[in-house]
């Protein structure tokens, strides 16, 4: 049987600090804004928050470029404000996770400034420096062919010392060299700085990129482009598990905390399980990425690849059954700050389906094993920016770089960009970062400034917190009920076993699964309609079950079958 733990029973609420609430009228969210909403967050039933980075940063990648891990980006507040937030959360018996961004730093970090100052600087090897290569004509070339995750070469040339440094994201985000024991020690100290202030754990950014193949070999060439992925050599390198175990024994084991690692590129279930299998004593859980990439193409995020319910069936079945086999634990999530809203991508944000679809997805998140993570705004059915927003509305560096690259390749002809715009409208990171919609007053009450730091989705006049708070039929009310059910039935929904219902029983548009508690004391059946059509499911074999919750109201049983409305969700219990 599965060992119980607070972090397995937690329900986590992700806050993107820039976009939650602006308390001082500068157009940008801030820490005091979050403090003022602690009671609101608690009222949802969630018990833990994850804060995306709030640290001192030039904000080239919205704080994922940290210049000093021990001070706070001034417009967000101060270390004292963060202490206040930690204390207020703890007073409400809630917890807080911070983002640990240590695969790379900002180029404005004191460590990098020292490192780049000379080849003999003691911190030179805290980053990854290499000599240039030269082609037959004597032209300078990068040390290898790796492609940056944000486009272009993964190497940046430094004139001062005539060497390249590795930067897998932006050139202003140099990769730290985890081979350096001194650098690792300094990073451990930074972690302790926050743990000693009461932080309850970390979401570890780009976790498995910390160990690269020591020879940094060329990536496999799969097309005629100048740069190739190289991920087979920079993800989950040979020392990855050593670094994680060292963090455990040197730092984390001295505190009662949880860790969730962001895991990219590594996909096979055995390798994945090695980070979270209990006997390995590494991390508590992972973001495996596949669930937010279901509509990405083989050649990259913005290649068209339509969502189909079969994809979520496959991924859900895979991890729900693999984790117990390896005695590991996982997360359950559909949204984060790196993509479009799941409501708009995997379900529907059209006016007639939006509320049903948002509730259906909430049902998914709250009835599976693993620790659920929701993104602020999910509780009110926040959606992507609509079709009326053009390319100029997209300000995030990832989408912008992509758009610029394609535009250049197409000779700068904007009229040829409609396919790219369509993909941005679905998947751009901007959608996951839209300011929170608090009420229908100007700027959704997110800020008193005339101009928010980014677009506020104009649908806020209808879709906002205030309008849903006291409405028994609202998305928010349903979310609260779903979270409460998870807390009421942990043996079933948190720790229970998972049995998939085959497509032959549910039809291809329905995701169905059974949950069993120990010794089968409780049994539950979850049926989720991922289509905008009515679907019928035969439930003859579930005689004696009754409806625990449903997003479609009224009686869901029609004799021997359940009739699911468009985006309907039904949970049966016995
Ligand atoms: O954003 C992505 C897809 O749109 C991912 O490829 C993402 O870059 C990757 O998952 C790593 O993400 C994390 O580290 C990045 C940062 O930009 C992301 O916001 C963060 O979640 C660099 O720190």
- How many angstroms is it from 206 CA to the middle of ligand 1? 7
Q: How many domains does the chain have?
A: 2
**Model pLDDT for residues 158-176, shown as the tens digit of each residue:** 999 999 999 999 999 999 9
Domain assignment present for residue 145? The answer is no
Of the CA atoms within 13 Å of residue 539, those in its CB half-sphere come to 30
Q: Are residues 448 and 508 in the same domain?
A: no
E runs forming strands in 298-442: 331-333, 371-375
Q: Are residues 515 and 444 in the same domain?
A: no
Q: Are residues 528 and 463 in the same domain?
A: no
- Indicate whether 520 pLDDT > 90: no
Q: Are residues 513 and 370 in the same domain?
A: no
pLDDT for the residue 241: 98
| Confidence category of residue 2, pLDDT binned at 50, 70, 90 | confident
Domain assignment present for residue 141? The answer is no
Domain assignment present for residue 88? The answer is yes
Active site residue 413: no
**Model pLDDT for residues 421-432, shown as the tens digit of each residue:** 999 999 999 999
Q: Are 105 and 178 in contact (CB under 8 A)?
A: no
Q: Are residues 237 and 349 in the same domain?
A: yes
Angstrom distance (rounded) from CA 457 to CA 136: 53
Domain assignment present for residue 416? The answer is no
**Model pLDDT for residues 32-77, shown as the tens digit of each residue:** 999 999 999 999 999 999 999 999 999 999 999 999 999 999 999 9
Q: Are residues 446 and 374 in the same domain?
A: yes
Q: Are residues 267 and 212 in the same domain?
A: yes
Of 149, 286, 299, 432, best ligand 1 pocket probe by most atoms within 8 Å of the beta carbon: 149
Catalytic residue among 142, 205, 338, 423: 205
Domain assignment present for residue 449? The answer is yes
pLDDT for the residue 516: 97
- Average the pLDDT over 6-12 and give the result: 98
Pocket lined around ligand 1, Cβ cut-off 6 Å: 61, 64, 101, 149, 169, 205-206, 262, 264, 301, 337-339, 398, 429
Q: Which atom of ligand 1 is nearest to the CA of 336?
A: 21
pLDDT for the residue 260: 98
**Model pLDDT for residues 481-503, shown as the tens digit of each residue:** 999 999 999 999 999 999 999 99
| Confidence category of residue 556, pLDDT binned at 50, 70, 90 | confident
Q: Are residues 191 and 76 in the same domain?
A: yes
Q: Are residues 254 and 370 in the same domain?
A: yes
Of 60, 67, 205, best ligand 1 pocket probe by most atoms within 8 Å of the beta carbon: 205
pLDDT for the residue 218: 98
pLDDT for the residue 1: 73
| Residue that is last in its domain, among 469, 485, 515 | 469
Range of the domain at 323: 6-104+181-392+436-469
pLDDT for the residue 572: 95
Q: Which atom of ligand 1 is nearest to the CA of 64?
A: 23
Residues 6+ apart with CB under 8 A from 224: none
- How many angstroms is it from 8 CA to the middle of ligand 1? 25
Active site residue 114: no
pLDDT for the residue 415: 95
Domain assignment present for residue 261? The answer is yes
Here the CATH number for the domain that contains residue 523 is 2.60.40.1180
Angstrom distance (rounded) from CA 484 to CA 489: 9
- Indicate whether 554 pLDDT > 80: no
Of 109, 206, 294, 342, best ligand 1 pocket probe by most atoms within 8 Å of the beta carbon: 206
Q: Are residues 30 and 77 in the same domain?
A: yes
Residue 345 CA: distances (Å) to CA of 335, 423, 432, 433: 10, 10, 12, 15
Domain assignment present for residue 522? The answer is yes
- Residue whose CA lies nearest to ligand 1 atom number 9: 206
Domain assignment present for residue 207? The answer is yes
Q: Are residues 442 and 503 in the same domain?
A: no
Residue at token pair 């967000």? 76
- Indicate whether 409 pLDDT > 90: yes
Q: What is the mean pLDDT of the chain?
A: 97
- How many angstroms is it from 262 CA to the middle of ligand 1? 9
**Model pLDDT for residues 431-462, shown as the tens digit of each residue:** 999 999 999 999 999 999 999 999 999 999 99
Model pTM? 0.98
Q: At CB < 8 A and 24+ separation, what contacts does 289-292 make?
A: 289/262, 289/263, 289/264, 290/315, 291/315, 291/333, 291/334, 292/333, 292/334, 292/335, 292/336, 292/338, 292/339, 292/342
Q: Are residues 217 and 253 in the same domain?
A: yes
- Indicate whether 113 pLDDT > 90: yes
pLDDT for the residue 59: 98
- Residue whose CA lies nearest to ligand 1 atom number 7: 338
């Amino acid at each position: 049987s599965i060992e119980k733990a607070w972090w397995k029973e937690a329900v986590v609420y992700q806050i993107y600090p820039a976009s939650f609430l602006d308390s001082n009228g500068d157009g940008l969210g801030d820490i005091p804004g979050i403090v003022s909403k602690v009671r609101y967050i608690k009222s949802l039933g969630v018990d833990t928050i994850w804060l995306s980075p709030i640290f001192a940063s030039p904000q080239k990648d919205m704080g994922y470029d940290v210049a000093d891990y021990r001070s706070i980006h001034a417009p967000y507040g101060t270390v004292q404000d963060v202490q206040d937030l930690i204390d207020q959360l703890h007073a409400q018996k809630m917890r807080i996770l911070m983002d640990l961004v240590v695969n790379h730093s900002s180029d404005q970090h004191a460590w990098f400034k020292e490192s780049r100052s000379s080849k003999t600087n003691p911190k030179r090897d805290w980053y990854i420096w290499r000599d240039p290569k030269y082609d037959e004509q004597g032209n300078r070339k990068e040390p290898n062919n790796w492609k940056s995750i944000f486009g272009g070469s993964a190497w940046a040339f430094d004139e001062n010392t005539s060497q390249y440094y590795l930067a897998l994201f932006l050139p202003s985000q140099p990769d730290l060299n985890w081979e350096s024991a001194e650098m690792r020690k300094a990073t451990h100290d930074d972690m302790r700085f926050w743990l000693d202030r009461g932080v309850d754990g970390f979401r570890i950014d780009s976790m498995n990129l910390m160990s690269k193949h020591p020879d940094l070999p060329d990536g496999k060439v799969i097309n005629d482009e100048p740069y190739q992925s190289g991920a087979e050599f920079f993800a989950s390198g040979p020392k990855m598990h050593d670094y994680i175990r060292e963090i455990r024994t040197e730092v984390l084991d001295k505190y009662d905390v949880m860790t969730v690692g962001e895991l990219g590129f590594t996909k096979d279930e055995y390798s994945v399980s090695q980070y979270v299998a209990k006997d390995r004593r590494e991390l508590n859980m992972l973001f495996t990425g596949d669930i937010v990439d279901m509509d990405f193409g083989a050649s990259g995020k913005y290649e068209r690849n339509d969502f189909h319910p079969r994809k979520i069936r496959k991924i859900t079945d895979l991890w729900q059954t693999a984790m117990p086999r390896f005695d590991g634990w996982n997360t359950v999530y559909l949204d984060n700050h790196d993509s479009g809203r799941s409501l708009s991508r995997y379900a529907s944000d059209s006016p007639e389906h939006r509320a049903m679809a948002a509730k259906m997805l909430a049902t998914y998140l709250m009835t599976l094993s693993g620790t659920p993570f929701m993104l602020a705004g999910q509780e009110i059915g926040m959606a992507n920016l609509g079709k009326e927003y053009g390319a100029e509305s997209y300000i995030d560096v990832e989408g912008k770089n992509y758009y610029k690259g394609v535009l250049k390749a197409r000779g700068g002809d904007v009229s040829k960009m409609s396919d790219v715009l369509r993909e941005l409208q679905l998947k751009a990171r901007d959608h996951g970062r839209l300011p929170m919609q608090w009420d229908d007053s100007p700027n959704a009450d997110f800020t008193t400034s005339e101009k928010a730091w980014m677009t506020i989705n104009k649908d806020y006049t209808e879709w906002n917190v205030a309008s849903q708070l006291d409405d028994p039929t609202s998305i928010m009310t349903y979310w609260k009920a779903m979270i409460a059910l998870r807390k009421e039935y942990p043996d079933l929904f948190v720790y229970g076993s998972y049995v998939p219902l085959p497509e032959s029983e549910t039809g291809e548009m329905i995701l169905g699964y059974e949950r069993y508690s120990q010794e089968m004391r409780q049994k539950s059946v979850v049926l989720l309609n991922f289509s905008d059509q009515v679907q019928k499911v035969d439930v003859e074999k579930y005689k004696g079950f009754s409806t625990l919750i449903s997003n479609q109201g009224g009686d869901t049983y029609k004799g021997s079958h359940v009739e699911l409305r468009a985006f309907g969700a039904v949970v049966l219990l016995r």
